Structure 1
Amino acid sequence: MSELVTPLRKLGFLTIGLFDGDDPRPGHESTLEIVELGERLGFDSAWLRHRHLQYGISSPTAVLAALTQRTSRIELGTAVIPLGWENPLRLAEDLATVDVLSGGRLNPGVSTGPPMHFDRVRSALYPDTAEQEDLGYGRAERFIDFVRGAPASEFRGTEGIEVFSDRVQPHSPGLADRLWYGGGSLRSAAWAGRQGLNLLVSSVVKAERSEDFEQIQLGLIEEFRAHHPAGQHARVSQGLVVIPTDSATPAQRAKYAAYAADRLPRTTTPHGPARLVYSPDLVGDSAQLAERLSAHAGFRAVDEVAFALPFHFDHDDYVQILTDMATKLGPALGWRPAR
């Protein structure tokens, strides 16, 4: 095995929380159960994807609020909330409330830019203000400022029997230190660093200086830390699709191999005007995966990860994958489960 630069310190996982549109409760319940399992297995963090007008979690803050009452230790994150769909002030209120309910375990990840398929939804989302909305870094900076406690009103004090604050309430002081940015470009990585945020690097990046995924991901990490006040100590979490098969049935192994093979062609060349590059999915037993990860340029630059669960698998598949990840793969990477 390639020698690890540092042992893996934090192990997390990411789920999209798929559900049946005609019967959405079982899918949401499955997500809650999966995160509860993650806590029992000793995972450090569980992260929710965010999907609008699809059959995945559209309101991670609501699901995370439920999880604060069903877990007690595991950190809870979003990867990521697209701010183009959100009012920064209202989102800051919601996330601060969830953080208080969780006892300070929330790790909100956000991103900027126009919502996906903005032309199809702009009349519903911003019928009167679409042309005036700042969907870039300015929107993120407003959100960050509100979380940090910047004034949101010109008045505070008592009016009749009502008491008003000039900043978001509840205010959760530690939340600002647990804000993450999902960046796939060098510009985003540098901006996140200058803001003093934490960085989420995923399995989709932009080809700028290279077309090699590992080198692109490493470049993002280096760019972020070069602009962050904490330098090399700035927190970065790597995201890849990693599927251990140690305890998988033959049918599951065949399913996982077919899934990865079906998605492999998209990894061979940059896509679209943004020149997006996708990482291959990693499938194999934990010894094989540890070998591959130990040689991965992006992985070698971090000490925490949030491995993504595949979109369309069954509940039992996720149970097997998470169990192998916590009991086989994590320890092979130098990680130890939280107690």
Structure 2
Amino acid sequence: MRAFGFLSFGHYAFGGQRAPNAQDIAKLHLDLAQAADEIGVNNASLRVHHFVPQSSAPMPLLGAIAGSTSHIEVGTGVIDMRYENPLYLAEEAASLYDISGGRVALGVSRGAPEVALRGWEAFGYKAKAPNGADLARANFEKFMGAIAGHGQATAAPLEDQYPNMYQPGSALPTFPHSPGLSRKVFWGSGTHSSAAQAAQDGVNLMSSTLVSETSSDTLGEVQLQQINHYRQAWREAGHDWTPRISVSRSIFPIIDGTDQRLFGMQGSDSDQVGYLPDVGASIFGRTYAAEPDKLIEQLRADPAVMAADTLLITVPTTMGLDVNTRILENFATHVAPALGWQPNTEGPVTGYDV
């Protein structure tokens, strides 16, 4: 494990609930990322969902985090490409890349099951597949073409241009263009086949918080198979750079009585299997909650954690800044070094040998 970060689902209260509201949670994310940056944590990521009280428009917050920190990379896990204008997303992502100095780890995918019935249609987009997979794929390909600098529009006749900048009929790219951004994109994969496709596409792999290949194997074992599929496909594709692979887990180090009181009952000894619409039977990862020595032993026994180069810890942001900072600090101090992690003091994380 070369890097670790936090992944927030961004839950907040609405409709009179007594809990942090959207403004509170946005401020908490900013403060938590700044605290994590000081600790040396490598990544601050937001999960993106629409039509629910969670993170839905991450770019403003990620820009604020990038502009107020020095080393931590900012990212998503993941942006649902069924809801995106791919060219506008390309402009936003390139701007974020420039603001952060390349400290970006942008996770995208088809998206998870949701509360809305074909919610992407409310955003003005159409799909043929019931789950919108064709729309997500088309938007992803257009997005990747845009951030690669490919032309996306045609220059008007010279007399219609203002200002006069381009040869009429020439191909126009989106701006800004940041050449390094293409290597900062992750595909959020829940299957072996989508992991192999990500490798063929030449993007990094973000193994999902749930995986739809169910068996008697643990989540870590299934994810290891997924990672091996990805690495084999990457080698066969012949890309000239080394990608990154991330997984996420719920982890609560128990250092003292306060941690025991807060998290002692959270731990579980096995993964869960559930059924999700459009996905079917899926494996959900266990929650780790234990003293450092035991956590180190458990995480070393998790094959996906040890095969990946980046571990994202899912954090309970509604519990407040102090609790979440405590989780990250405890993990950084008492657990992560034994897994191969060193504090981040040099900016973006680089690729990992496959």
Please give the range of the TM-score, normalised by the shorter of the 2 chains: 0.7 to 0.9
Structure 1 unmatched runs, 5+? 1-7
Aligned counterpart, 1:256: 263
Q: How does 1:214-293 map to 2 (within 5 A)?
A: 214-228=220-234, 229=238, 233-247=242-256, 249-250=257-258, 252-260=259-267, 267-272=271-276, 274-293=280-299
Output the CA distance in 1 between the equivalents of 2:121 and 2:337.
50
Closer, same or farther in 2 for the Cα pair 1:191/1:210, shift >3 Å? farther
Q: How does 1:85-104 map to 2 (within 5 A)?
A: 85-104=83-102
- Residues 321 and 155 from structure 1, CA distance in 2 versus in 1: closer, same or farther, beyond 3 angstroms? same
Mapped partners of 2:249, 2:312: distance in 1: 7
Matched, 1:20 2:13: yes
Range that drifts further, 206-215 or 321-330: 206-215
Distance 1:42 1:150 in 2: 36
Map residues 98-137 of structure 1 onto 2, 5 A cutoff.
Answer: 98-112=96-110, 116-119=114-117, 121-126=119-124, 129-131=126-128, 134-137=134-137
Q: Deviations over 1:127-183 (max 9, x none)?
A: 7x4559742423211111111111111227962326467111000110001110110
Conserved 8 A contact 2:78-2:111: no
d(CA) in 2 for partners of 1:295 and 1:275? 24
Matches within 5 A, 1:121-160: 121-126=119-124, 129-131=126-128, 134-155=134-155, 159-160=161-162
Of 324, 334, 339, 1:333 maps to 339
Distance 1:232 1:149 in 2: 19
* TM-score using structure 2 length: 0.83
- Consecutive unaligned residues of structure 2, counting only runs of 5 or more, are 346-354
CA shift in 2, pair 1:206/1:292, >3 Å: same
Q: 1:153 to 1:243 in 2, by over 3 A?
A: same
8 Å contact 1:44–1:75 — kept in the other structure? yes
Equivalent AA in structure 2 for residue 236 of structure 1? I
- Distance in 2 (CA, whole Å) between partners of 1:157 and 1:107 is 39
In the alignment, what sits opposite 2:350? none
Report how far residue 210 of structure 1 moved: 5.4
Q: Distance in 2 between matches of 1:255 and 1:231?
A: 46
CA gap of 1:218–1:114, structure 2 versus 1, over 3 A, is closer
**Alpha-carbon distance in structure 2 between the residues aligned to 1:114 and 1:151:** 31
DSSP 3-state at the match of 1:239: strand
Provide the residue aligned with 1:195 in structure 2. 201
Percent of pairs identical after alignment? 28
CA contact (8 A) 2:34 2:68 kept: yes
Letter in 1 for 2:147: V
The separation in 1 between residues aligned to 2:287 and 2:240, in whole angstroms, is 30
Give the corresponding residue for 1:161: 163
Aligned to 1:5: none
Structure 1 residues 167 and 257 mapped into 2: Cα distance closer, same or farther (>3 Å)? Answer: same
Deviates further, 16-25 or 297-306: 16-25
Shift of 1:24: 2.5
TM-score calculated relative to the size of structure 1: 0.87
Q: For residues 212 and 91 of structure 1, do their structure 2 counterparts lie closer, same or farther at Cα, with a shift above 3 Å needed?
A: same
2:74 partner SS: strand
Q: Tell me the equivalent position of 1:3.
A: none
The code of the aligned residue for 1:137 comes to R
Tell me the matched-pair count.
326
Tell me: CA distance 1:18–1:116, structure 2 relative to 1, closer, same or farther (3 Å).
closer
Distance 1:131 1:207, change over 3 A: closer
Alpha-carbon offset, residue 91 of structure 1:
0.8
Secondary structure of the structure 2 residue equivalent to 1:171: coil
The answer for the alignment partner of 1:178 in structure 2 is 184
Deviates more, 1:88-97 or 1:21-30: 21-30
